Structures are given as C-alpha cells and as structure tokens.
Structure 1
Amino acid sequence: MKKTLMTLALALAGQLALAAPDAQSILAGSDAVRNPDQPFGLIVSLVSYKDGRENERSALAVYSRADQNSGQFRSLLRFVSPARDAGKLMLKNGNDLWFYDPASKASVPISPQQRLLGQASNGDVVTVNLALDYTARLDGEEDIQDGDRQSRHCYKLHLSARNGGVTYHAIDLWLDKDGYRSRKAKFYSESGSLLKTAYYRGYQQVLGRERPTETVIIDGLNPKWVTVMRNSDFAWREVPEAWLQRDYLPRFRAE
C-alpha cells in the first residue's frame, strides 16, 4: 500500500513538474511577441506629459536585426524630429551604445540608462531580447489591471540582470498566460528603488503576429509624469551590416 501511494505521489509530482511552465521559456515567448524574427524597421514616437500637459515630443526611425551568433538585436536609430535633432544617430551593438551628432562628426559611448525623453531611456527604444540579458523567476500568477483598465490573469516573472550593461537591474513583468503578451512591468535600480512602471497596449497584427504598438511609462516617484511611446510604420526591410558599424555612422544616409 505504501509503495502504491509513493508511486502515485511520484507520478503526480512528475505531472505537475511537466505542467509547470519554465520561467525562462515564458520570457523568451514574450520576446517573440515583441520582436520580429527578421530584419525590420519602424517609427518610434515619444510624447512626455507633466501634470497632464504635453512637455516634449520626439520621433525616431529604428532599423533592427538579430545577431546570428548571440541572438541579441543590433539597432540603428535615426532621429526624425524635433528639427534640432534630425539626422542624429544612435547605434546599439551588443551592450554597447553610441550616439552620433553630424554637427560634431563624433560618435561617443552613452549609457542605456540615460534619459532620452521624459521617462523613456535610451534602452527603452532599442530592440532587446530580455531572455538573453536577464534570468527569470516565476513568482506565480496574479490578476492585474492592464493599460486599458481591463482585468488580466497573468504570470508574474521577476527578472534579474545577468550583467551590468543592461538598462535595469531588475524587472517585474506580468504576461498573459495564453500567448505571453506583456501587459505590465516595473523597473528597479540596483538599490531596489522603483524607477518606472510601464503598461503595454494597442496590440495589433503587424509583421506576422499580434504585437504591442504603445507603451505608457509612468515615473516611479511622480505618477503625474508620463511618457507615451508609440510604434508605427512596421516593415520588413534590409538592414545592411555596414549600418551597424560605428565607423559607418558619418557616412549613413537616410533612404
């Protein structure tokens, strides 16, 4: 009898283990929702608000492709507006980030944590595979309100940075159980302070699957400071290797 009970218990434990999702696989699934699997381009528009009033806005053209060896994305970003910034470039290659200003003809290293506009940092606008930069832990399931104030039953992942070159030290991420669509995230500094909260919404069919087209970013200290980041004009496109080289930045010309 004891042997039978033990056998049943072991069998049940095995079934539960098989049923339990792997946190890293869930995170990789969420990356696949956000990131197309071929070279692509899009326009990122950012608008920041303070106390309900528009403060500033910017737009960038983004060209991205995944590195064949590492799987991490490499991106070239061209500032489209405002006029004072038009033609400036930002290049992400691995965890290295450079900023190029045609006026000075100099490319300088910058930090992904550096503020780009409002609550959006440089690291928020470049394409990233979180599963390569973070170790995920499944913290269970939770009911949350998404960016449209709709109730969602989600997996909650806690992400810990694998190295110091990433934008955030830690992230709490809530994703749909079905389809792994990101709904909400909280981003933390190394000291554990909440830097910002983001809501992912505006899911649409683009480049082969349903992807988020809008992110609402709320400051961790002042909830009245909000930045809205919208993605549009998605397109499959060639992203030449030359575009992703720092030495090529002075010669880049927009098509």
Structure 2
Amino acid sequence: MFKQLILAAMLAAAGHAGATDVQAILKKADAFRLPDASAQLDTLVQTFRNGQPDKEKRYQVLVRPGGKSLVLSRSPGEAGQKVLMSGDDFWLLVPGSARPMRITPMQKLLGEASTGDIANMTWAGDYAGSVVRELEMDGVPCLELDLAAQRKSLSYQRIVLHVARSDYRPVHADLFAASDRKIKQARFSVETRNGRASVTRMTLIDEIQTSRETQVHVQGNKPRQFGDELFNPMYLSRNDVAP
C-alpha cells in the first residue's frame, strides 16, 4: 500500500511538471541524439519490406547551433545532392540546377526517413508539453511526455515521447501529423561509443503500411566546426562540399 501511495505521488508530480522541467528533460534527451553542438554525422538509411532488406542510402549530416543542418548525399547516383535546413526553411539543391528549391521537412529521402527526421534532431525549444504518466516501454521504465509543436513548420505537430526514467534517453515516440493522425512510430537504440551514450539507430515504422520499416543508423559522430557559407543556399547552389 505504501509503495502504491509513493507511486501515485510521483505520477501526480510528473503530471504537473512545469514547462521548465519538460524542457530540461528534452535537452537531456536531445544530448543522446546530438552530443556535440557542432558536429558531423555519417548516416546510413536502410529500408525493409516484410523484414527483408530493400534499399539503402548514405548521408553526411553537418549540424551547427541555431537550427542549421546540411544533409549531403553520399550514395552513387545522387552525388552532389544537398538538403539545407536553416530554422524553418528547407532547400533541396541538385547538381545542374541554378536555384535551390524550397521543400517541406516531410519530403522523403528514403522510406519513412524524411528531411526533417535526418536534419532536425532536437526537441527542446521546438516542442512544449507535460509529463503524462510513468509506464514501461520495451522493458524500460519510462516517463511519457505529450508534446505539441511550437511552430506549424515542424515535421510533426504532436509527439508522444517516452524517455527512460533513469537518464531521460529516448526510447520510443509516436509521431502525429497536423490532423492528429499517428503516421509513424520511432524506436531509439542507444550504445556507448568513445565513452559516451548516444543514439546509434532510429527505427521508423509506417503506421499506414505496417510491412515497411526504415532504419536510420548513425555510424559516426565527431565534433567539427563549419564556415557560414555552408549554410547559405546560394553558395551551395554554385559549390560542391568535399567530404
């Protein structure tokens, strides 16, 4: 009985967590996805149909503070293709085109992996909400956060995020469109690399075509500084970016 009362008190406290508390949780969850403020991530995206490998593509993702990301295609047949995210703006740049083309964060790169999934790896500041309850997800004691997007331009207008109660690492998320229809599930795998716990795989499950699955593997993550020109769409339309 005493244990039940303690649990009830914890849930009540979690349910009334203020915005500051949720933002602190989200910042810690973000750190597992992007440990360094300015970094290069080498990413492999694979699709599966009925559990069998289907297609794959490789990307190099350059991330810097201020909501800026540059996604460089490193797959044969897509050399020179780039996707730039600067705040709420997304551009696609293809070789031979004189002008960058504006796209949406939901534009697909491969399978269920969209430009927003690859380029925008943070939740803090973009979402606000509350801690709803405690539960077990994939065998991990978790907190459930119900998050609402702070801008209409974000890929998902609502996220139900499950983070581990022990360290706030992301475990699972339900991703919703503006209509509040659940369109994807995401599962996060965390491993220790170079003495640091990081998300090394995000598995995206299509809620409409349930036979399809997309895995986003972060194969390498290293701190790196970038010049301002790499996040200028007009510069990128005229220049390639070396690995």
TM-score normalized by the length of structure 1: 0.84
Equivalent residue runs for 1:180-219 within 5 Å: 180-206=168-194, 209-219=196-206
Aligned to 1:80: 74
CA distance in 2, matches of 1:42, 1:137: 30
Aligned to 2:229: 242
Q: Given the alignment of the two structures, is residue 61 of structure 1 paired with residue 54 of structure 2, yes or no?
A: no
In the alignment of these two chains, the number of paired residues is: 229
Say whether the 8 Å CA contact 1:24–1:137 is kept in structure 2.
no
Q: Given the alignment of the two structures, is residue 251 of structure 1 paired with residue 229 of structure 2, yes or no?
A: no
CA distance in 2, matches of 1:129, 1:49: 26
Consecutive unaligned residues of structure 1, counting only runs of 5 or more, are 1-12, 68-72, 146-150
CA distance in 1, matches of 2:36, 2:58: 24
Say whether the 8 Å CA contact 2:80–2:240 is kept in structure 1.
no
Say whether the 8 Å CA contact 2:99–2:234 is kept in structure 1.
no
Aligned to 1:173: 161
Q: What is the letter of the counterpart of residue 126 of structure 1?
A: A
Deviation digits for residues 115-137 of structure 1, max 9, x if unmatched?
A: 21101111000133212111121
The alignment yields a C-alpha RMSD, in angstroms, of 2.0
Say whether the 8 Å CA contact 1:217–1:228 is kept in structure 2.
yes
What secondary structure sits across from 1:54 in the alignment?
Answer: strand
CA gap of 1:235–1:198, structure 2 versus 1, over 3 A, is same
Q: What is the letter of the counterpart of residue 103 of structure 2?
A: I
Consecutive unaligned residues of structure 2, counting only runs of 5 or more, are 1-8
Give the Å deviation of 1:77: 1.1
Deviation digits for residues 72-129 of structure 1, max 9, x if unmatched?
A: x311111001x11121011110011100001223310100012211011110001332
From 105, 108, 113, the counterpart of 1:115: 108
Give the Å deviation of 1:196: 0.6
TM-score normalized by the length of structure 2: 0.88
Q: What is the letter of the counterpart of residue 198 of structure 2?
A: R
Q: What is the letter of the counterpart of residue 252 of structure 1?
A: D
CA distance in 1, matches of 2:120, 2:152: 18
What secondary structure sits across from 2:23 in the alignment?
Answer: helix
